[in-house]
Amino acid sequence: MTHLEEELKELKQQVTKMFVLVHSQLEKSYLSLQNLDKDIAHEILMTEKRVNALELKIDLDCENYLALYNPVAVDLRYVLAVLKINSNLERIGDIAEGIARFVIDSSTTFSNELIMHTHTNQMFDVSLKMIQDAEDAFINEDTSLARIVFKQDVILDNININANNNIINFIKNNPDDLEQCLHILSTIRKLERVGDQAKNIAEEIIFYIEAKVIKHSRKL
Amino acid sequence: MIEAKNLNLYYGAFHALKDINLKVAEKSVTALIGPSGCGKSTFLRTFNRMNDLIPGVKIEGDIIVDDENIYQKGIDVDRLRKRVGMVFQKPNPFAKSIFENVAYGMRVNGISNEKVIKEAVEQSLKQSALWDEVKDSLKKSAYALSGGQQQRLCIARALAVEPTILLMDEPASALDPISTAKIEELIHELKKKYTILIVTHNMQQAARVSDFTAFFYMGSLIEYDLTKTIFTNPAKQQTQNYVTGRFG
Ligand SMILES: Nc1ncnc2c1ncn2[C@@H]1O[C@H](COP(=O)(O)OP(=O)(O)O)[C@@H](O)[C@H]1O
Ligand SMILES: [Mg+2]
């Protein structure tokens, strides 16, 4: 392995670390929301600083790599893809932090019924799975797995579209839970964006491996 | 430790190096860059006193190598040149066998134990990443090798006398891209054991192989920093103009 390849391998390890960290942040935000666990929510806020620091480090590593090694072809696409994957992951980190803040601000527990009725639980499961699949696709350079990420996004979109009606129905029967309902609606909107970000990441993986631009097109 | 302190060099009346101060980091690669004629090679040659051979040269200031000012009186220049090896732009093997090219420095230094020489030759050829290509043809003339192989042979020859510092003056500029890549990879390996100073007119090469970069312009050291910094965010406008190709 040449020393340039070693640098790329090191970069890949950093990005993998970012995937793991961000996945764990979103998973914890789910846990803290289910149990109104404010300790976990505070832990998420602390860890968010590490996510931000790692984002900056990866950006800097990419800048250095571009400046020092002038990569071309697949190596160039790889570094360009990593820059975008990195910023999408950082935004997922922000979303986990946002959900943690709802938990911290909330005075009463989110009822299980509300979470189930609005399919928020399913949204968490699907978006976590999408991040995991994107991570595996990135590690193994597996573009068919990257394509599976797109398919899952449809589920999130549907839940999001139906969210208003679901929430309205729930409020009718539980008018006292208004604050909770608003937090859950915001959480659903956030998770819908996690889906978009995972999709963007999958697009970047396909771009760097296959040199195909998937963005803004329906063709997979 | 290697350091230039208030170094000035004159070729006759021409002031070729102007008050250079620079500390070289050990076991790392320092690249000297700058436009042709800015003094890179002159500066490199001050570390093994090669400029002494040029008539009319005047040198002021200190060059410290391993806590010793190499320009003070009583310095053994032959011993210095053992510690500070040099590799030139054009591969310059001797008209001898591959083996004898590498053994040469040891023989000159009075080593006569053939077993010791044989081991050192093998060791040096391994370190210069040439061994596998020549181990079955050590008796062949060095001239039978390709340009890239000859350059790695010259590196092996320099390593055989166990220097601590390697000076390289555009060591890859006469080579094809594949041989160049091999030399660059070799430099990356060698820095684990040696302190390397390399002159290159190829900025990308400086970026790829070095840890520190010194930018020279018209005999002055304009900027000296981590290579990463020089190529992403240099402090001086002149450096920025040079590395971005906007010079002049
Ligand atoms: N032997 C010499 N006699 C007189 N001038 C010289 C000699 N060698 C170099 N110079 C001059 O010193 C300056 C620096 O040369 P050099 O160190 O070879 O520059 P570089 O390696 O950066 O191209 C140039 O102007 C060059 O003409
Ligand atoms: Mg020169």
The answer, yes or no, to whether residue A217 has pLDDT greater than 90, is no
Q: Assign A85 a pLDDT band (cuts: 50, 70, 90).
A: very high
Taking the Cβ of residue A72 and every Cβ of chain B, the question of whether any pair is shorter than 8 Å is answered with no
Q: What is the complex's ipTM, to 2 decimals?
A: 0.83
Tell whether B192 is covered by a domain. Answer: yes
Residue of chain A whose Cα is closest to the Cα of B181: A2
Contact criterion met (CB < 8 Å) for B228 and A67: yes
Residue A32: what are its φ and ψ, rounded to 5°? -65, -35
Tell whether B145 is covered by a domain. Answer: no
Sorted by sequence, the CB contacts under 8 Å of residue B248 that are 6+ apart come out as none
Query: May I ask the CATH class of domain A3-210?
Result: mainly alpha
AA letter at B47 = F
Domain that holds residue B68: 2-92+164-243
Are the C-beta atoms of residues B84 and B78 closer than 8 Å to each other?
no
Taking the Cβ of residue A63 and every Cβ of chain B, the question of whether any pair is shorter than 8 Å is answered with yes
Tell whether B131 is covered by a domain. Answer: no
* B225 Cα to the center of ligand 1, angstroms: 24
Q: What is the mean pLDDT of residues A86-104?
A: 97
Overall number of domains in chain B:
1
Pick the atom of ligand 1 nearest to B42's CA.
17
Contact criterion met (CB < 8 Å) for A68 and B207: yes
AA letter at A181 = C
pLDDT by position in tens, chain B (length 248)? 899 999 999 999 999 999 999 999 999 999 999 999 999 999 999 999 999 889 999 999 999 999 999 999 999 999 999 999 999 999 999 999 999 999 999 999 899 999 999 999 999 999 999 999 999 999 999 999 999 999 999 999 999 999 999 999 999 998 899 999 999 999 999 999 999 999 999 999 999 999 999 999 999 999 999 999 999 999 999 999 999 988 75
Q: Which of B8, B14, B33, B42 gets mutated to test ligand 1 (max ligand atoms within 8 A of its CB)?
A: B42
Report the CATH number that the domain containing residue B233 is assigned in CATH.
3.40.50.300
Tell whether B138 is covered by a domain. Answer: no
Tell whether B137 is covered by a domain. Answer: no
Closest Cα to atom 9 of ligand 1: B42
Are the C-beta atoms of residues A159 and A117 closer than 8 Å to each other?
no
Look at residue A201 in the predicted model and tell me its pLDDT. Answer: 98
Contact criterion met (CB < 8 Å) for A70 and B207: yes
Contact criterion met (CB < 8 Å) for B207 and A4: no
B192-223 residue pLDDT tens:
999 999 999 999 999 999 999 999 999 999 99
Residue of chain A whose Cα is closest to the Cα of B228: A64
User: What is the number of CB-based contacts under 8 A between chain A and chain B?
Assistant: 22
What residues line ligand 1, using a CB cutoff of 6 Å?
B 11, 14, 16, 34, 36-42, 54
For residue B217, which ligand has an atom nearest its CA? 1
Look at residue A220 in the predicted model and tell me its pLDDT. Answer: 57
A45-84 residue pLDDT tens:
999 999 999 999 999 999 999 999 999 999 999 999 999 9
- Considering only the beta carbons, identify the residue of A3, A67, A69 that sits closest to B185: A3
Alpha-helical runs (H) found in A70-119: 73-105, 112-117
Tell whether B122 is covered by a domain. Answer: no
Residue of chain B whose Cα is closest to the Cα of A63: B232
Residue A108, min C-alpha distance to chain B (Å) = 51
% chain A with pLDDT above 70? 99
A128-185 residue pLDDT tens:
999 999 999 999 999 999 999 999 999 999 999 999 999 999 999 999 889 999 999 9
